[in-house]
């Protein structure tokens, strides 16, 4: 039996910090004061369920801020728009900012570069909450590009200067491809690779492990962007790659005797779930 668990699997620094801040607030919040998170604190149903049992619920968007005046609001690791902070202050809401420091860095870059008159281009998924938050720190209109096709179709005024940033969990190789396409158009651009180091390390290790095994298991919530990208990478190099959320999903996996199995997990996957999957796989008669 040969089972390889990626060293980078599981919570990243930003996610671990965000969850820690939530539990700290549970312990010290004033009697009767309620705690909310701005959207699910992380993309993991198990963690969200545990917090709900402890009385911590999420709100959907700015339209809900007026309903929670006087409460504590925790900004999740994905971050959010500047306008949310401003509105929360007006409503008398106490903000606890759990935005990942790597995401905060992008907010500062976008704010400064857009104030300098540069057009902001974000490489990422416009429907992801992190990207929505980044957009909310620009002082000018923003363009979001998700793939090479959108990059090919991208046009700008020849006199414009452009600042390119990335969603922190974007696929590094795809980011580089998209940047190359834009560079060939001859625009005056400033490229800032804002994919976080943890994401890059996780993706590189996922590729390395998936190249070396017969079956690859990727653990994470279906809504997790970084887990989806890990799955895409692993699937490229290992055709028998499974995307699971908990150990229960392993029932559909084909693990015949004598094979090697690799395991990795997204940045929002708790260690106890990873260990359950690891022990289950090792317990099979491979």
Q: Catalytic: 24?
A: no
Give yes or no for a contact between 229 and 202, defined as CB atoms under 8 angstroms apart.
no
Give yes or no for a contact between 219 and 248, defined as CB atoms under 8 angstroms apart.
no
Q: How far apart are CA 27 and CA 221, in angstroms?
A: 27
Q: Considering the candidates 46, 130, 183, 251, report the single residue annotated as catalytic.
A: 130
Beta-sheet strand order (sheet of 215-219) = 2-5, 260-265, 215-219, 241-244
E-strand spans in 48-97?
Answer: 56-59, 72-75, 94-97
Pairing verdict, β 161-166 and 260-265: unpaired
Nearest to 5 by CA among 283, 200, 207, 274: 274
E-strand spans in the chain?
Answer: 2-5, 35-38, 56-59, 72-75, 94-97, 119-123, 142-145, 161-166, 188-191, 215-219, 241-244, 260-265
Pairing verdict, β 215-219 and 241-244: parallel
Nearest to 165 by CA among 109, 248, 93: 109
Burial class (CB in 10 A: 0-12, 13-18, 19+), 276: middle
Burial class (CB in 10 A: 0-12, 13-18, 19+), 180: exposed
- Residues serving a catalytic function are 130
């Amino acid at each position: 039996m040969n089972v390889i668990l990626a060293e980078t699997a599981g919570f990243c620094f930003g996610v671990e910090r965000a969850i820690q801040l939530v539990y700290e607030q549970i312990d010290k919040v004033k009697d009767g004061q309620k705690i909310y998170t701005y959207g699910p604190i992380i993309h993991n149903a198990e963690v969200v369920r545990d917090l709900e049992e402890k009385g911590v619920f999420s709100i959907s968007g700015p339209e809900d801020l007026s309903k929670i005046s006087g409460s504590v609001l925790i900004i999740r690791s994905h971050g959010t728009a500047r306008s949310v902070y401003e509105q929360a202050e007006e409503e008398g809401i106490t903000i606890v900012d759990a935005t990942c420091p790597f995401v905060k860095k992008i907010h500062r870059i976008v704010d400064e570069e857009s104030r300098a008159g540069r057009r902001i281009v974000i490489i990422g998924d416009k429907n992801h909450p992190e990207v929505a938050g980044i957009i909310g720190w620009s002082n000018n209109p923003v363009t979001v590009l998700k793939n090479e096709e959108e990059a090919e179709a991208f046009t700008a005024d020849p006199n414009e200067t452009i600042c390119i940033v990335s969603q922190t969990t974007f696929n590094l190789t795809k980011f580089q491809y998209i940047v190359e396409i834009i560079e060939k158009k001859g625009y005056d651009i400033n490229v800032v690779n804002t994919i976080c180091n943890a994401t890059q390390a996780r993706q590189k290790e996922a590729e390395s492990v998936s190249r070396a095994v017969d079956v690859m298991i990727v653990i994470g919530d279906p809504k997790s962007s970084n887990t989806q990208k890990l799955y895409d990478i692993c699937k490229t190099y290992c055709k028998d790659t499974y995307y699971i959320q908990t150990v229960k999903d392993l029932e559909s996996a084909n693990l015949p005797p004598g094979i090697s199995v690799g395991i990795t997990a997204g940045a929002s996957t708790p260690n106890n779930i990873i260990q359950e999957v690891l022990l289950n796989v090792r317990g099979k008669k491979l």
